[in-house]
Each structure stands twice: as C-alpha cells, then as structure tokens.
Structure 1
C-alpha cells in the first residue's frame, strides 16, 4: 500500500473537492487520515447521515478512489463469524487524477489519435461498460462508427491501457491454522519476512488474473456458457462458490455491472511506460542520443513491468535497428555506448540494466538541484560530498569542497536545521576531551521529506489555479468579438496564467512520480 504524507493527504483532498464536492471529500479525507473503516465508523467520524456516506462511497468506488472488501471476523458466539464491509482509500489513484492529460497524450502518441475519445470517457467517468463506452463515443460526433470504436477499444485493451475492473467486494476470510501470523519473539528469519497487510490482501483478491483482466468477451458483453464453466472450474477446492450479495448490487445492475463487464483505465501500465520514458530521457541528458535510443530499444524488447532487463548484444542490436534513429548504428557503436553507461553491467556479451539504479541516480540529482537553488553552490558541493551516506566531520567536508572553514559550519547548520542532513556529536576520550561533529545524509528520511515538499508545492499551484479561474469566471463565457478591450486583455492574461500553471504543475508532477511512483 502507498504511504501518504501530510501534504499528500491535503493535495488528495483538494483534488476530490474540485471534482466531486465537499461531502465526498469529507468521506475521502476520513479514510485518508484514519485508514480502512466500515460505513458505520465513517458515519461516526464524519457526522454525516448514512445515505450521504453511502452515495459518497459509490462515487469514490465508481472513480477508482476507494476499494471495498468484505472482512470475515469472529462473532460473539462460539464458532461463529460475521462479515463486515470495509472501505479502503486508494491514495495513488487519487493523485493519478493530476496525470490524466499525460495518460491521454501517452496513449495517443503510442497508438493513434482515435484512442483519445475512448480513453477520455473512462478518465472522466471512472468505470464504464463496453456498451456505455461505444454509446458515448458515437454521441461525441468525433467521427467513426460503432465497429471502428470497438476496434479502438480492443487496441487499448491489447496494449493494456484499459483493464477489467476489480471485484466489487472480495471476501477476505479468517486466516487458517497454516496462515496464522507467527508469534513475536521468533528467530531472525521470521523478522526478515515481510508481513502482508490486510489492504494488500484485499487488493490482491480483487484484481482478476491477467487472462481475465485483459480478455474481451462477446459483442453483448455476456460470458458464454463455456466461459462460465471455465470460471467455475477454476475455483479452488473448498472455496465458497456462492457470491455474497453486496448492498449496491441494484445500482451495479443499472450500470450494467453484472450483465456486462465493467472497464477502467489501467493506471499501472501508464506509470510503467512513464517510468521507461523517464529513464530514457535521463540517459539522453546524461550521455547522448545514442544511449537513449539503445536503452529505449532494450526496454521495448522486454516486459515493461520488469525492473531489471538483460539481453545479449545481438538481441539489443536487433531491437536498435528497428527504430529510425538506430538504422545508422553498427554493432560496435552499440557496444561502445553500452560500455559507457554506469547503470549497465556486462557478463559474456549479455548486458543488464537496472531501472531502479537509474531512478535512484535521477532522484539524487533532483535533490541536489533543490539544494543548489535553495542554499547555493557551496551547500550543493557539501551535500554531494555526503551523498554516499558516509559520515564526515566538519573539517573534512571543508577540505573536500574547498569551502572556507569559517563558512562551512554555518552552511551545514542551515542544511541540518531543515533536515537535509543529520548531525552527530562525538566526544573523544583521553585526558583532553574534544568534541567534534559528524554529518551524514539519511536518504530514506530525506526522500520522504522531499516528496512531502513536492506535494506542498503541487497543492499551492493547484490552489492558485483555482483562485485565478474563480477570479475571472465571469469573463470566461463572454464572446471575444463583442467584448471591450479590457475584457480581452483579462482573458488573454488568464489564458497565459493557466498555461503557465498547468506546465509548472506537470513538471512538478514529474518529480513527484520520480520519488513516489517509479520505485
């Protein structure tokens, strides 16, 4: 599960307020701050009536911001259990609302312009059946008939940009004897074993297997008898086959949720492709265009979800010459470019690239640029000297960075005061005790702080955008032809401000993804 920060929560609430209003945002904020809750507890903490909480949860589920699951709990009597519906907020999916324009641009660039209409409908409405998707595309007067729109939809599913929605309310049963968590005080091997949270179990149970997740059924969307038999036979022995009736089944019937599969945008695929794009652009900026072409070709020739890519030199060359930029390269040119990449290793003419290493290098450079802009070039050199994590004393830092020893403590104190570096006071033994300070960087803590600062900046930009639009809302609907010169100037100013704020927010979001989504 994604961990949010204080300003990350405020940004998420702001996005929900803008799109769905105050009541829905109040329910969402309750889940963001308190974690997974039942409907009764949400009503208690928000002081909202049950019907408003229920409708708010429907809206959040419809737009993929909340996942419900049925939790089996021990009852009051002996050998009895009760099932309580729980609601967990999906923080990542809320923040993804900032990136809808990026997702649409990425899909149209990778496929064609025709996919925009289908994708836009899913981004706006959250979850739709195929019938609803096609009807909306036909009503948009964008051209094309039902068959062409269906082909476009199939293309999106085949490229994994669109997926079937997860189960509405998967059942999380009580752990069996073999699944009972280990008691505290066990051996070291037990400590190293990562515990699976309840939310992670619920998400894993809700998401269908890939064979079903990206499968397209018949024209009317109803599974055939053979498909039903296959699904039934796929159930594990002892698994409950009787589906529990959820309280919003009637509403899902209205939306076609039972009779026809419901589809949504696959955010994971978009993030994976944006991560690859960021790695390729990093290689281009740090090395040259040839390095970017080769890295991009390696990633295209493998599964996009893998963090580490390994290919032989011949396989890499085959992928490189498929692109226009790679047609002019020969085998030796590819080999020499691979050898200069710091994040690439070679064993027996097989080259391996770890995307995690690239992202970590890009993260460090992003923080260094922040330090340079905020504290100056001397602080930047000091921060870089400490970036390997090894503690250094004040004099050694001064010697390594060529900064005056009188100024060095002042700069280090500023960085320490803002939690960019950590300080430790050390006292030497002996007859003449002396004190000196060791300085170091704890990346995990600092990266979390940087992410919160980025959320804070994104929130400020979003609030400024809303303020600018509200301030000049009365002139937006005025015709530019008959408007006086003063109104025309105000409209031009508002247009420039919106473009500037939009572009700044998109650049800031690139940095947010670097620290939150790409690792």
Structure 2
C-alpha cells in the first residue's frame, strides 16, 4: 500500500500535469486499490464519460494499467470477462524526475536528442534504444487466464501453501508481467509481426471456451479501445534510468565515505555488470575477474595510474566477496549493503537535524546495536544524563522512530524496565512518508510563489525596471532555492523507495 502522504504527492503531480479530474481518478485507485470502471464511477461520483476520458489519458501516460480477468457469474450464469484498472504509483512519482532523467541522457548521448531534424531524430531514437533509455509500451489490456480446469481444489491448496506469499504475488504483479513485452522484443526496432505475435500469444493463453465467452460477453470498458491502433508505441524506460541513478548514488556515497579510488573501482564494477542485472534493485553485482576490473578501471578518469594492488585494496575497502578458482580471482560488490548503509546514515542525519546531537548519539547507538537496550545502558554508553536520555527516548518513541517494550522483573521486589530498539523496516517507511510530505509542501510552496508573482513573471523583459526588476530577481532566487531543495529531497526519496 502507498503511504498517506505518498498518495497526496502523487495526486498533486497528476493534477499539475493532467488536471483535477485525472487526479481524482488516480486518488481513488491509489486509496482503494484495483477497481472496475463501474466502481471508479461510483467512488469518484464522476460521469461515465469523464472517467473513460481520464482513464484514456492515464493509460496513455503510463500512470494506470488495465487488465482483463474472468469473473465467476452468479448461480446459473456463465463467467464473464471484466476489465480492471490499477494505479502505477512509481510512474506518477517519476513525473517530477524529468530533469534528472534528461541529465542522464544528455551526459551519455549529448543534447542532439532534442533536435527536430528528421535524420537526427531517427539517429537519436536508435541511440536511445541501444542505451535502453526507451522501450516498447506494455500491452494496453492483457488477459489473465484463470487456473486450468484440470487443477483440483487440493492442488490449488497445495500450491497456495507452497508459496503463500506468491499467490498474491498479487493479481497486479501478474498483470504487469502479462502486459510487459517479451524481453527479446522489448528493445527491438523491427516492428513487423509484433501485433500478430501478441495477438497469437493472447489467443493461445485462452482456452476455446474462454475465447467464446470473450466474444459473447464484451466488457463495459470496450469503449476505451475505440482508438486502438496496431503500430508499436514506445515509452521512457524508467527502470534503466533509475538503475543509472542508483549506481550514481552508490558511487557518490563511496567517494564521500571511503575515497576516490574506491569510487573508481566501484564505478568500473557497476559498469561491467550493468547489462547482467536482471532486477532493478540488484543486491549484488555479478562476479567479475580482477583483469576485467583492471581493464575498466584504467579507462576511468583518475584510474589510469592504479595498479592491481591498489585495486585489491579498494575491493577490500568496499567489502567485496572474493571467489578464487585456480589462478583466477573474481569479485562481487554488495550493492544492497551500500544502499542500506546510506539509508541508515540518512535516518541518523534526520534525527540530528530534528532532535539534536544527544538524540543523534542515542539513535546511532541503537542503530548499531540492532537489539533492545535498557535506558540506563543507553545513558551510560552515550554519556547523556539519564533524565535527558529518558526524555529523548520518549520523544523518539512518540514520533515513531523507536520501538519500546516494558519488562517487569520477577521476585519479591518487582521493578519496571523500559527496553528500546529500532525496527528499521517500519522506520524506513515512516521516514519515507515524511519525505513525501515535505516534497508535497515544497511543490505547493513553489506553486504558491509562482501564483503570487505571476503578474511580474508575465511582463516583457524590457518592462522589468526598478522595483519590478528587484521583485523578478527575488522570485527567481526563491524558485531556484525551492527547486534545488526539492531535487535534493527527491534524491533521499529515491534512496528509500526506488533504490
């Protein structure tokens, strides 16, 4: 489920880009989950025509995914196929990351990508495709086939108990997987035959009886497909762009916390293993030979003077796992470990800014301990007065930064002890929700400043003299500060949610 302030931020973004009606449909889907057209109409109280128009826009903009499932009919009635709609929260949030994505593309491919010349556009498209910055759009409405008729209830129960977490590997996850183009076609320029292949694929996944049901029992959402065309459509490949940002964040962290040479070695390893990453949030890189790492390191700026021994020192500093086979040695980097350490330090910095240095020392102690500690132990270790320690612990607990348990000792003289610890996963979610809240406030403040100064901002440049020029420059400075703060905050959001 999306956190409360995450929903508010996403709906604000959709409102900014596509209007209040689309925002209302998105909010409904984010808060209530996957719904049919009839349910969306009922919950939003919008007209059928408005909801259909909004869904068209949102599907086109990759903010909503439609999919068809077979629903059992009432007693004596045949099953029918219905279309459901799910919100794509991540894609909504990506709307505010266009500057970051454009910067990545410009750094790798240059600024010609924005040219209007036909030949340049064609060449740019090919380069974007080769770099995997764009990909084929998902199928607009995949059909999720029901379990095969031969699957008995006993088999279903066995399968359910065997993978209890995968069953609700969720209908939504199954829908996204069904909508995704085949990997062999995802970045393929040749377009002929894709529609036929998809059509045949869908047909083969549906039994003859089900095909007949689909022909006879048309869903009430067919109107959404009125303008359906067969040409191949393309979209931005957020997965690849987020992967690049994830790698950049890891390199930046290592450069700050260890040194430049370790950052160069990490950059080389991530570059070598990038195309072998099968998941966006890969936990470890592929095992890479020391020779391959060396060859890539010396291509990097600042890496030419590094020899094997210095590279091995950096690999040790990075905590790489070593695999030795005969005369060969290979290394794998713990990407997940770097991300989690970055998250922990970000949470510690939040505590430092909000609650002060003594609270920071207490929080850091509990973070490193990873277990329950008693109040006196915390006070003694951090050199904070017990009275102050208790006040700080209660404040952090009240704000959901700590977990507390009360323990009563047994015996003739009973005593009450308070134990404290950090539950990192719930805390990450809590901190992330606070970041969504802060990002929403910043966007609202930017919109407010623009609205407040719209009279000055709309004036021709030659009329901006005297007091008007001062106001114009002040508005520009305020906007730069606010947008810079928002970009920095979004990097923290990506650290906790996307990386």
Q: TM-score, normalization: structure 2? A: 0.90
> Is 1:466 the equivalent of 2:442?
no
Question: Which secondary structure state, in structure 2, belongs to the residue aligned with residue 500 of structure 1?
Answer: helix
Question: Which secondary structure state, in structure 1, belongs to the residue aligned with residue 27 of structure 2?
Answer: helix
Deviates more, 1:65-74 or 1:191-200: 191-200
Change (3 A) 1:182 1:468: farther
User: Which of residues 245, 263, 269 in structure 2 aligns to 1:292?
Assistant: 263
Residue in 2 that maps onto 1:368: 348
> Is 1:171 the equivalent of 2:139?
no
Residue in 2 that maps onto 1:90: 88
User: Which of residues 160, 176, 179 in structure 1 aligns to 2:132?
Assistant: 160
How far the C-alpha of 1:268 sits from its partner, in A, is: 0.8
User: Which of residues 292, 296, 305 in structure 2 aligns to 1:315?
Assistant: 292
Residue in 1 that maps onto 2:69: 71
Residue in 2 that maps onto 1:125: none
| Cα distance in 1 for residues equivalent to 2:16 and 2:349 | 32
Residue in 2 that maps onto 1:213: 186
How far the C-alpha of 1:249 sits from its partner, in A, is: 3.0
How far the C-alpha of 1:347 sits from its partner, in A, is: 3.2
Change (3 A) 1:511 1:247: same
User: Which of residues 109, 113, 117 in structure 2 aligns to 1:111?
Assistant: 109
Deviations 1:30-88 (A, max 9, x none): 11111111111111111111101110111111111001111111123657221111111
> Is 1:417 the equivalent of 2:398?
yes
- 1:19-168 superposed matches below 5 A: 19-76=17-74, 78=76, 80-115=78-113, 117=114, 138=116, 145-168=117-140
How far the C-alpha of 1:191 sits from its partner, in A, is: 4.4
| Cα distance in 2 for residues equivalent to 1:234 and 1:85 | 19
Question: Which secondary structure state, in structure 1, belongs to the residue aligned with residue 386 of structure 2?
Answer: coil
| Cα distance in 2 for residues equivalent to 1:416 and 1:8 | 23
| Cα distance in 2 for residues equivalent to 1:212 and 1:187 | 32
Change (3 A) 1:290 1:487: same
Residue in 2 that maps onto 1:431: 412
| Cα distance in 1 for residues equivalent to 2:166 and 2:462 | 68
Change (3 A) 1:169 1:180: farther
Change (3 A) 1:484 1:231: closer
How far the C-alpha of 1:232 sits from its partner, in A, is: 7.1
| Cα distance in 2 for residues equivalent to 1:168 and 1:181 | 34
How far the C-alpha of 1:188 sits from its partner, in A, is: 7.4
| Cα distance in 2 for residues equivalent to 1:182 and 1:9 | 39
Change (3 A) 1:182 1:199: farther
Change (3 A) 1:265 1:46: same
User: Which of residues 381, 388, 405 in structure 1 aligns to 2:361?
Assistant: 381
Residue in 2 that maps onto 1:283: 254
How far the C-alpha of 1:303 sits from its partner, in A, is: 2.9
Change (3 A) 1:63 1:374: same
* Count of residues paired in the alignment: 478
| Cα distance in 2 for residues equivalent to 1:38 and 1:364 | 40
| Cα distance in 2 for residues equivalent to 1:36 and 1:496 | 43
CA contact (8 A) 2:402 2:420 kept: yes
How far the C-alpha of 1:184 sits from its partner, in A, is: 7.2
Unpaired stretches in structure 1, ≥5 consecutive residues: 118-136, 139-144
Change (3 A) 1:332 1:180: farther
Q: TM-score, normalization: structure 1? A: 0.87
Question: Which secondary structure state, in structure 1, belongs to the residue aligned with residue 85 of structure 2?
Answer: strand
Deviations 1:323-367 (A, max 9, x none): 23211111111011111224x222323222121111100000000
Question: Which secondary structure state, in structure 1, belongs to the residue aligned with residue 426 of structure 2?
Answer: helix
CA contact (8 A) 1:416 1:423 kept: yes
| Cα distance in 2 for residues equivalent to 1:312 and 1:419 | 45
Change (3 A) 1:434 1:232: closer
Q: Which structure has greater helix proportion?
A: 2
CA contact (8 A) 1:182 1:190 kept: no
> Is 1:356 the equivalent of 2:329?
no
How far the C-alpha of 1:178 sits from its partner, in A, is: 3.9
> Is 1:272 the equivalent of 2:243?
yes
Change (3 A) 1:411 1:270: same
Residue in 1 that maps onto 2:171: 198
Unpaired stretches in structure 2, ≥5 consecutive residues: none
CA contact (8 A) 2:464 2:472 kept: no
| Cα distance in 2 for residues equivalent to 1:230 and 1:43 | 34
CA contact (8 A) 1:161 1:270 kept: yes
